[in-house]
Homo-oligomer: A and B are copies of this chain.
Amino acid sequence: MKRLRNENADLDVADLKILRLLEKDARTSTAELARAVGLSPPSVAERIRKLQENGVIEAYTVRIDPAALGLKLSAWLRIRPVPGQLAVVAGIIRDLPEIAQCDRVTGEDCFIALAHVGSVAELERVIDKIIPYAMTNTAIIQSSPVEPRSLLGSLRQR
């Protein structure tokens, strides 16, 4: 049977189909997944359990429209701490609830962070928390040509 081989997981076509269906709707019932992949519900439940155990599935989440919560402004912040302040800046970022995610990256900027706020004034308050220890560059999101989409799509014909 065709498999994806790598250090972390050993996924067969049924696993991939389950992941694909859960990506589309994480609330799909085990029973329905079972019908789709042609296995019994307990088998599918067991596969899902293992996918979680092996860290393939990291979390089941819901995507919420920030605007619906009054968070009408979203922005990407590129952050370049002054020498010696990297850990301090990382701590500040973690303590700012407006930061929904943040990656450490290679290159001139050390961090790329996503902020959701209700107004420009709030955005300013977020930036002001960081600016004593880092140079920042703010890019406000205007639209999303590609809404978050399937990771499995990235696999192509490999």
Contact = CB atoms under 8 A, between A and B. Distances in A.
Contact of A64 (B58, B62, B98): B58
Contact of A112 (B4, B9, B76): B76
| Count class of interface residues, chain A | 35 or more
Contacts of A75: 105
Contacts of A6: 67-70, 72
Interface in A137-154: 137-154
Contacts of A153: 97
> What copy number does this chain have within its complex?
2
A113 interface: yes
Interface in A20-71: 22-23, 25-27, 54-71
A73 B107 CA distance: 15
Nearest to A95: B146
Nearest to A99: B146
Contact of A145 (B27, B98, B102): B102
Contacts of A105: 75-76, 139-142
Contact of A70 (B4, B117, B137): B4
A142 B155 CA distance: 21
> 7 closest pairs, A vs B, by CB?
A105-B139, A102-B146, A26-B60, A56-B68, A97-B153, A22-B62, A58-B63
26 contacts: A4-B69, A6-B70, A8-B65, A9-B69, A23-B64, A26-B26, A26-B60, A55-B68, A60-B61, A61-B61, A64-B152, A70-B155, A71-B151, A71-B155, A93-B145, A93-B146, A94-B145, A98-B156, A100-B151, A101-B148, A104-B142, A104-B144, A105-B142, A106-B142, A107-B138, A113-B146
